[in-house]
Amino acid sequence: MPDPVMRFPSGRLSMFPAAGVLALALSFAAGVPGLTSGPLGDTSVVASVAASSIPYSRVSSLKAPTRATSLSIPRLGINMPIRNGVLNAVISRQYTYHYPGTSWPGGGSNTYLYAHAQVGAFVDLKYARMGDLITLHLSTGKYVTYKVTAMHSVAWNDDRWLLPTSSDRLTLQTCLGPNVTSRRLVVIAVPAY
C-alpha cells in the first residue's frame, strides 16, 4: 500500500504539469482502501484520463540520448534544474549537474547527476527509499521516470559509479558530510516502465 502521507515542503512547487499532479493524486487515492470512489466517481478512470494528457515516454522508446533539463523526486520534495557539469569547478546549490562524458536518457548507459547536500538541493536525498520515483523532464518536452533500486555510502574517491553501464541507468550522488573527503551517497535508479 502506498505511504498514506504525502509531504510537500512549503513554498515548493512541483515541476509536473497540473494534469500530472491530478493523475498522481488520484492514482495514489486509488491505492488507498476507502478512497477509490468519491465525488469524482471512480478515481481510476479519472486518473487514467488525466494521465493520458501528460507527455511521458518510456526510456526504452527514446531513439537517441536525450538531454534532461530538470529532475523531480516528488516524495522528497526535490525539484531542480539540470546543468552541464564542469570538472574541478565550484558548483551552485541551485542546480543538479550532469557529469561530463556520462550518458543521457535513451543512450543505453549510465546517466550521472550530482548536487550539493544542502537545502534547496539534494539535502533530503538521504531519505530516499527503494521504489521511490524520479522523473526527468527532457529537452523534447517529454518526461521519463526511474525507480530507485539501490543506495550506497561510498568513499569520496570511489569513481566506479561513473562507469558506463550496459543498459539505461540513473545515478544520483551527493555528499554525506561537509568535507571534501566526506563519504558520498550514491542512489541508483532504473527505468520505471
pLDDT digits (tens, 9 = 90+) for 113-140: 999 998 889 999 999 999 999 999 999 9
Is residue 71 scored above 70 in pLDDT?
A: yes
- pLDDT number for residue 53: 53
Sign of CA dihedral 64, 65, 67, 72: positive
The pTM is what? 0.72
pLDDT digits (tens, 9 = 90+) for 50-61: 444 568 889 999
Is residue 97 scored above 90 in pLDDT?
A: yes
With b meaning 16 or more CB within 10 Å and e meaning fewer, what string describes 3-17? eeeeeeeeeeeebbe
CATH numbers and ranges of domains, the chain: 18-51 (no CATH), 59-191 (2.40.260.10)
Q: What is the mean pLDDT of residues 42-68?
A: 69
Name which of 106, 101, 100 is nearest 67 in CA terms. Answer: 106
